[in-house]
Structure formats: C-alpha cells, structure tokens
Structure 1
Amino acid sequence: MKRKSIFLTFGLLVLSWIGCVENDLPYPTIVGQITEMEVAGMTSCRILGASNTVEIKVADTIDLRDLRVEKLVVTEGMKVYPDSAACLDIAHFPDTGFVSADSLPAGMDTRMNFLNPVKFRLSLYQDYDWTVNVSRDIVRKIKIKNQVGSALIDDYTKNVIVYVDSTEQPSLRNIEIEELQLGSSIAQTTPDPSKVVDFTRPRVFYVTAFDETEEWTLSVQYPNANVQLTQLSAWTRRAYVSGSISKGEVEAEYRKAGETVWESVLPNEISYEGEDFLIMMTHLAAGTNYEYRLTMNGTVGEILTFTTDTIMQVPNLGFDDWVMKNEKTWYPNATLDDADHFWDSGNEGASIASRNPTAPETGDVVKGRAVRMASDYISIASKFAAGNIYTGDFVGLAGIEGAELDFGQPYTGRPSALKGYYRYTPGVIDQAKAPYDALMGQTDSCHIYIGLFDWSAPFRVNTTTGTFVDLTWNNESMIAFGELKSNEATGSEYKQFKINLTYRDYFTHPKYILIVASASKYGDYFTGSTSSVMYLDECELVFE
C-alpha cells in the first residue's frame, strides 16, 4: 500500500510539472488564400494573391444586391468570416470553403450584397483579410449616323463624345442616333435616344436599372486638328497604329527621321474590323526615331513621329554566371547581392538535405556554362523536388510541406520569342500527388514557358495552398505567353528551340517577365520522375 502511495504521489508531481511547462512552440504560418471563387452569372474572375483581392465580372443583367456565391475554395483548414453586413443571412452562411453551393446542407444561404467591396477574413493560426469586388460586364454601344471613328467614353465622369463627318453631316440639329446603350442591356434610357436630334449643345440621358439611375452627357462634335483618332504603339522592330475611318481605306508611309524617301506599308499589313483599322510597320531598327503619315481617302495627313524601343535582354540568359551560398546552395546569378538577383530555383528548399537539383554544368554545354536541372526525391523531407529555374525569388517555406515563391521580375520590353538550346532525358514518373496521381508510370515531360504580365508586384506562389499563376487567357494580367512542352528525349545532343509569344493586344506595356523551365512539368504538384534531367543553354530573347 505504501508503494502505491509513493507511485501515486510521484505521478501527481509529474502531472503538476507538466502542467507548469509553457508551450513555447510557435504556431505554423499557413497563409489564408482564396484559390477559387464563383458567383451567379459570372463572366470572369481574377484572383490577385499579391494584394488579397478578387475581381469578378458578372453579366450586365445581374442584380448585385442579391448575388449567390456558388463556389468559395480557400486554404484547407481555414475558417471563413464573411462581412456580416453584406450577407443576406449571416447566420446561415458557411464558415468554411465550399466547392459548390448546391452541395451545402439544406438551409445554408450564400447570397450577398456586392454593390460595394465585400471583405472576407480567413483564419487558422493567423488572420488574412481578402476583398472581393464584383462589377457588371457592361459593353457600352454608341452609334450615330455619319460617325467618324469610335466614341470617346469616360466611365468616371460619364461623358461621351462622338465625332461626325462635317461633309456628310453639315448640321448638328438633325443628328440620328442609331444605337445608344450606356448601361446594362436591360436599362431604361430617358429621354428616348431616337427622339433626340438637336446636338448643338451636349444632351443629358438618364440610364436606370436595379433602382439606380446614372446621368450621362453625350456631345456630338466635328473633328478638328487637335482630335487624335489614332493610337500608336512602338515596339523594338515594328510599330502599330490603330484608328477608325467612316468609309474608304487608309494608307500609311514611314521613314527614318532625316531621310527623304518614304516606305509604304503593304496592303496585307493593314487589317480592318468594321470602321477600325490596324496598321503594322515592320523591319524597323531598335532605338531609332521615325516619321510616319496616314492617307485617308486620298487626303494626306500630317507627319508624326515615334521612337522604337531598345532591345531589352534579361541577365544571365546564357546561364554562365553562378554563385554558391554558404558553400552548399547554388544560385544562377553573378553575385549574392540583391541587385544581381534575377533568377532562382528550388535549391533553397532542398538545401536541408544539402542537395542542388539545379546546378551549373561545365562539361555538356553549347558554350561556357549551362544549367542542369535534375529532378530528385528529398528523403529527409519526404518530398519530390523538380529541377527548375525561374525569374523571381524563393520567399520561404509555407506550412509544413510547401513553399512560397515570388514569380516574375520587372521588365517592360516586348520580345517576339524566346530561343535557345535544350537537352532532355525524361524518366518514368515515380512520384505523384493529387491531382496528378493518375500520371504514375507515364513518361515525364519538361516545360519551358515565358509570360509577360502587367502585375503591380511579383506574383506570390504558394504550393501549400495551390496558388499558382493562371497561364490561360482568362488571366487578364497576362499580356503575352508562349511555351514548350515535351516528353521526348533529345538524345545526346542539344536541340534548338524557339518559343513564339502570342500577345493579347499590341498597345499594353508589360511590367513583369516570367521565364520558367522545369525538368518535370508537374513538379509544382510534387509529381514527376527522379530520373528526369534537362539542360538549358545559350537562351536569348528575340525581337522581330
């Protein structure tokens, strides 16, 4: 009995000591992200991870005051706290993410008022605030008889200016409005546009929909010398001019500043869409001053000028410069200084096992040094690591298993292609995770891609939350894109490649460039072959 008493006393002392021990282990940092979101009537969605913002457009017939959230996918484990003032029934709004509102238990209500920006707070160990902005996808349509060019629309001041041909329309007292849609396609416009004919002064129209009324001012004027009906975009070796012409055709000529002979733009370099035209001037010299003039229906316009862009390469595209940090981690840059940091890889994450999936190659090269990317399995972390390289920065680990990367580096050039040499030996996929676990046993693929974006900051990738750059044209930030994907071995020799860039438009300057190469295409999802190896050498941006 005495022994039992001693053991009991000892046990109580131990429990008391344990109860006094403080838990000094820090909570893990798991970033709260909205990775997917859909609402009723949605036409597009843009998720900006860098600013924790979601930009959604819906059909112009949708009432923003009573809008159902149909999908809200967030970082696993996060609690969702929506703006209570925006919820039509806060008591029945889900407190977790969901892939479909139809799959929620009966009685749940995901309707919200999106007339103003709506806040969502995601919380696990830390709080992350997101803002969702929803707007109608309104296409404003203005067409007046004898109109010249496109209408000038100021959405902010709600002013519209339309120019008409002074010969065909000598009076502003008998203007004929053929089409006027300034708001939603179901909005009511007063007064009736077809009955307003006198535009010797600006006229006011009231556009009403969803119990809201907007006041718009429409002016009809004659063009004058100060009116610019054309837009020019000068690239490195070509330039684009867009404009409008009510009837007939347009011709264009250009020459270097100081020269006397004009060069005519070929007919196949001028395209038309309705009254709008697009002219392309080619075979230009980089960083050079030019003059050009347009001829519309036989009338020669004034001489205008432009300067082409200079050639903008990015550092170390030949992959000759390398530096080692702490005698264990390779970086594809000239020095470790921030000013020289343009490229990065997954080496920092693999450094816990003193491994470098991405390293310099000095033997098997086209010239100088090359980059060798060998996919690997890091046993100490129990994770597959694809050999890769990208323009950007490794930020750090995210949670227990993932990483955060800043994709993209500042860049304003507009190349036409990326070319270089690669050598690839694919292995059989022996590491696979969802959603690509079905690829197990298939041949691995390499991936090289280049994109130009108008981001305001680098894109924060988070492999834990599945936050990656959208490489489809649904991504409105993407200005240009091109890629190479292959599961074929190149043999013992390097193979030359050229990736042409497709541009969304010719007039937007990019702000960031993203170049990524990986020996395993789905390495971001920890899927690939530990036998896949890719070499990349002597790359450069092409300006044509």
Structure 2
Amino acid sequence: MNTRYLKTLLTAAAALLGSACIENDVPYPVVEISIADIEGEGFTVGATDPANRTITLALDEQTDIRKVRIDKVDYDVTIHSVHADKETFIRQIASSVELVGTHDMRTPLTTTLSLYQDYTWTIRAEQRIALDFRVKGQIKEAEIDTQARTATAFVPDGTDLAAVRIETLKLGPAEVTTYSPTVEELSAAGFAEERKVRVTCHGETEEWTLRVQETDIRMAVQEIDLWNNTATVTAFLTEEEAKKAEVQYRSEGAESWQTARKEGYADGILRAIVEPGWQESQNKNGLTVYTMAPEQGIFAGHTYELRLLVGDEEYGMITQTTAAGHTIPDGDLEDGTLSCFTKDNETEEQVRFWGSGNNLFKPKLCTQGEFGGSKCAYLQASKTLGILASGNFFSGLFHYEGMNGTVKFGQPYAWESRPRAMKVRYYAPTIGTVDVAKYQNPGNLEKGDQDMSRIMVAIVDWSDRHEVTSGVGQPSGMWDPEETMRTEEGAIIAYGSKFIDAASTGDAWIDLELPLSFYDTAAKPGGKISIVISCSTSAYGDFMVGCSQNQFYLDDFGWIY
C-alpha cells in the first residue's frame, strides 16, 4: 500500500475530527436555576423574588443573626429548548458557596448556581424585634430610639415620677435578653431621674437610657393594627370621670361619630378600643360570610378625629393619621413590557405580578390597549375549530403544552393593612351570547344563552399556587371562592366577585368597587401565596363555555380602605 497516501488520509481524518470537536453545533440546553426553599433552625422563608434572584429568611426573634443554621436547600429548574427530567438537572446543580451550615447573616449570602449557565442568587435575612417600654399610668406610646438607645415613656402632668413603676420593658428578643439592673430594681427606684440599664443578648451588651416625662396630653392613640383595623385610645381621667366617659371617633369628613369600646380603667388611665364591626350573612351558595360595617374600625390612609366626652362635656379632641395602604403591583397597566401582554408568562423570573394565557397559537388574548385616554389591559376572546379561548388576565403564571393551558393562580403579597374592597375600572364593548359550550358549567350556560364576563379577587393563605387546566382535554382544578372556603393549598380568607352580563354603554370607563366578603375575620395570610386576582371575558371560559366575540378593557386596580 502507498504509505504516502495512507499518511495523507490519516492527516485529513484527524483534521476533520479536530474540526468537529472545535465547531460543535449542538447547543447546550437553557436551564434556569432557582432556589425553591430553604430549611433550617430559627427562621422561615419570608419572601422570594425570582426576578432579582433573592430569597429572604424571616428570622425568629430569638435567633442569633450571627449564627443562622441552614440544614437544607431545595432547587428548581425551568428547562427551555429541550424536554428532559427536571430531577436529573437538579441533581447536577453546583453552588459556588456551601449553603448548608452556619452563617453570619448580618450581610447577605451570595452564591452562583451553575449547570449549563450561571445564575447568581442572594440570600438575605430580616429580623423584626418588637421593642416596648411601658409604665403604669402611661398616657401615650413610648418613643424608642434604637440609634441613640433611649426609651421615653409619657405620663400625665402631676404624676409622681419617683413612684412610677414599669409594666413592660423589652429592649431585645423575648426570653433571651437580660437587664442590669433588673426590671424590679429599676421600678423600685422610680424615675425622678433618667435610668441607665445594660441590655445583654447573645453575649453582647448595650447600654440604654430610660426616661419618664410628664405631658399635658389627656388623650392619645396607641397600638394601631391596620390588618385587624383596631387601635387603643388612652385618656387621663379620675375614676368618677371614667365612669361617665366615652371615646368617640370618625374618619375626617364623616358625619356620624362611632363609640369606642371601653376596655378598662387603672392608674388614672381609661383604655378604649377602636375596632371594626362585622355584618353576618349567607352568600348565594349558602356559606356564612362577614362584611365590614360602614365607618367602624381604623383603616390605612385615613385621618381620624377622636374626642373625649365626660357626660355632656367635651374634654378634648385629637386627630390621628394612619399609614398609607398597599398598592396593587402595576395596577395602572401603563408599562407595555409587562409579561401579561406577551407570551412569556411561565416563570417567576418573567412574571412580576400579572400573567395571561397568551400562547403560541393565541398571542392576543391579553394585550396592552388604550381606552378613555389611558393605557390598559385589553382582553379579547376567539375560537379555533370549535375551541374557545377566553381573553384572560390574572395574578399568576401560565404554562401551555399539548393544546392545553394551565393557569397557576396566585402571587405572594405582604399584607399589613386590610382593605374593605378592591376597585377597578372596566369597559366591555361586547358581551354576546354563548356560541361555544363544550362542558357542563356551574352557570348551566348553553349555546344561545347570555354570556357573562367576570372580575374576581381573593385573599388566600396558600402553600402554593392553585392550578387550573383546560383546553382540548377535560378541564381540571376548577375553583370558585364564592363556592368554597378552601382549596387543597389552604384557606380562602376573603373574596370579591362581579359577573357582568351586558355590554357597556356610552364611551366612558365604569368604576367598580368589589366589597370583600370574609370567611374568617381573624385570620391573616402567612403562606407562600396570598392574593389572587382574575379577569376573564367569559366567566366559564375554563369549561370551554362562552362567547368568542367578547371584549373587555381593564385599568387602575387598587384597594379601598
């Protein structure tokens, strides 16, 4: 054999192999990595922000922030461009920092998670430690300055400061904080002069200054709780005056006064409680619900007038302005880049709050429109081969696969103030008769019946999002907050709902208020998912029932307090 020819052939083959190695045209899959959960001692996961790739640990009050123990980290992946088993990818994730162990969380913990791509995540810690300083005969809340380390309580003019005794002293985490002198020793000496106290917790000691000052204030508001809509009013009175006294309040501008409930009298101070009233009724499905009585209780974003009456004599009047309430994220819908106006509604990284059922085949179920001079959400229905696609818009995520769509209802929401209702503006150019009716539905609608659009809101306490799947297959996961007090994910605390069964007239927005009906007046959301808002051109679109010509404009979502 010609050896020269053989050498040439081998050289060419090697070159081809080398070229194949260098120019690999097979792309790596795109696999987005996220931290799904963290377990450990002395904390819960407070909030996850996938868009900014941060997760916040809510530390228990007694936890030493310098020594936070993480026992387990769970990951999740979103796989693009290929179909593969998620668990196979999850097992291969590498972290640049060993997360399991003990960490000083006074500074955030940053790690890079790697597989085919790198994703940097930050773990933060928040620790709320409620501080308190109260003395007998106190007329208003103490002023506590954590920077200067001072705590000042206020008592009425004429109080014998040397005889003032401490009711509560809490300048650090409960159960693990010690004081020197002790609370008993501080009380025994009184407060004719300011007192120094050494506060020790987790091996560190701070020196604080305690003061008690006289004030000419006769009435004050304390302990405002904007979720429970309560406040405590204190008034300086004699025992005889207290027997005849009333504390009354009203929101600024209201005509009628409400009377606060007298809680007790001690050490010259009358305590009265401002609290909401509840009206009990049965909803249309026979479930017991509670709505807030008008003008009772204390709410976010209001200024209140309070007056003290003793018999027919007015002893004084004060005003109290409460903190502003919550907003609904992107409630004005002015941002044209929101994911709900696109087909990218599948992951938490893509969706800030609002999602939609837009997909490859139906990309215009929710788009940004314009009506009445403002940008808004424009929903429009359609049908293909007898399959209805309702225009839709909701708080949550959406996954489309195999001619079926799955809505994952719900978003995290840090509730601190409880609203009375949700407000929104809408305009419905078309709400026609049902022309698609595939499955039996709760409204018993059939072809030719008048269709209905719907706006719904729910305050929930869920461990995860609730999934509803519909399309060419049998629908599953259907739920309605008017029909049930809970889903498998957890409790439904409150809801508001509006069915709209006629097209709008005129050419102006319609302002809508959805009063909240509560199943539980005491519960506060504490789970991973705590709010659901859903709007659809057909109320029973998930059952493939509705009018394929319906249109719906929506704008300016917000709360009423």
State the partner residue of 2:199: 207
- Letter of the 1:122 counterpart: L
State the partner residue of 1:14: 16
State the partner residue of 1:80: 95
State the distance in 1 between where 2:136 and 2:72 align.
Answer: 45
State the partner residue of 1:59: 60
Check conservation: 1:117, 1:133, Cα contact below 8 A. Answer: yes
- Letter of the 1:205 counterpart: V
Check conservation: 2:396, 2:407, Cα contact below 8 A. Answer: no
State the partner residue of 2:184: 194
State the partner residue of 2:476: 444
State the partner residue of 2:216: 224
Deviations 1:175-216 (A, max 9, x none): 212332211222220112212233233322111122111222
- Of 246-255 and 206-215, deviating more is 246-255
Check conservation: 1:374, 1:532, Cα contact below 8 A. Answer: no
- Letter of the 2:247 counterpart: E
* Secondary structure of 1:60 counterpart: coil
Deviations 1:235-288 (A, max 9, x none): xxxx9876445785642255876x9xx632156xx586994632669469xxx9
Deviations 1:314-372 (A, max 9, x none): 9999x9xxx9xxxxx9889xxxxxxxxx976232xx23x46555599xxxxxxxx9744
List aligned pairs for 1:259-408, cutoff 5 A.
Answer: 263-266=256-259, 275=271, 277-278=273-274, 282=294, 292-295=305-308, 299-302=314-317, 304=319, 345-347=356-358, 350-351=359-360, 353=361, 356=364, 371-372=380-381, 388-390=392-394
State the distance in 2 between where 1:437 and 1:472 align.
Answer: 13
* Secondary structure of 2:161 counterpart: coil
- Letter of the 1:300 counterpart: Y
Work out the percentage of aligned pairs sharing the same amino acid. 18
* Secondary structure of 1:301 counterpart: strand
- Residue 220 (structure 1) shift: 1.0
TM-aligned CA distance change 1:81 to 1:221, over 3 Å: same
TM-aligned CA distance change 1:439 to 1:129, over 3 Å: closer
* Secondary structure of 1:33 counterpart: strand
Q: Does 2:50 match 1:49? A: yes
- Residue 46 (structure 1) shift: 2.4
State the partner residue of 2:161: 172
Find the partner of 1:251 among 247, 251, 254: 247
State the distance in 1 between where 2:468 and 2:379 align.
Answer: 33
Q: Does 2:100 match 1:121? A: no
- Letter of the 1:111 counterpart: T
| RMSD between aligned residues | 6.4
State the distance in 2 between where 1:316 and 1:61 align.
Answer: 38
State the distance in 1 between where 2:133 and 2:496 align.
Answer: 43
State the distance in 1 between where 2:59 and 2:234 align.
Answer: 30
- Residue 24 (structure 1) shift: 9.1
TM-aligned CA distance change 1:264 to 1:406, over 3 Å: closer
TM-aligned CA distance change 1:179 to 1:315, over 3 Å: closer
State the distance in 2 between where 1:129 and 1:215 align.
Answer: 40
Gaps of at least 5 residues in structure 2 are: 78-89, 266-270, 277-292, 344-352, 369-377, 399-404, 441-463, 482-488, 504-511, 525-530
Check conservation: 1:172, 1:199, Cα contact below 8 A. Answer: yes
- Residue 158 (structure 1) shift: 2.9
Deviations 1:378-433 (A, max 9, x none): 9xxxxxx9974137999xxxxxx999999899xx99661469999997859xxxxx
State the distance in 2 between where 1:445 and 1:403 align.
Answer: 10
- Letter of the 1:416 counterpart: A
State the distance in 2 between where 1:153 and 1:230 align.
Answer: 14
- Letter of the 1:18 counterpart: A
- Residue 69 (structure 1) shift: 0.8
* Secondary structure of 1:147 counterpart: coil
Check conservation: 1:252, 1:294, Cα contact below 8 A. Answer: yes
State the distance in 1 between where 2:418 and 2:262 align.
Answer: 25
* Secondary structure of 1:444 counterpart: coil
State the partner residue of 1:38: 39
TM-aligned CA distance change 1:228 to 1:498, over 3 Å: closer
Gaps of at least 5 residues in structure 1 are: 83-92, 95-108, 324-328, 333-341, 361-368, 379-384, 395-400, 429-433, 450-470, 474-479, 507-512, 522-528
- Letter of the 1:265 counterpart: Q
Check conservation: 2:231, 2:275, Cα contact below 8 A. Answer: yes
How many residues align? The count is 412
Check conservation: 1:63, 1:210, Cα contact below 8 A. Answer: yes
State the distance in 2 between where 1:316 and 1:66 align.
Answer: 40
TM-aligned CA distance change 1:255 to 1:52, over 3 Å: closer
Check conservation: 1:230, 1:242, Cα contact below 8 A. Answer: yes
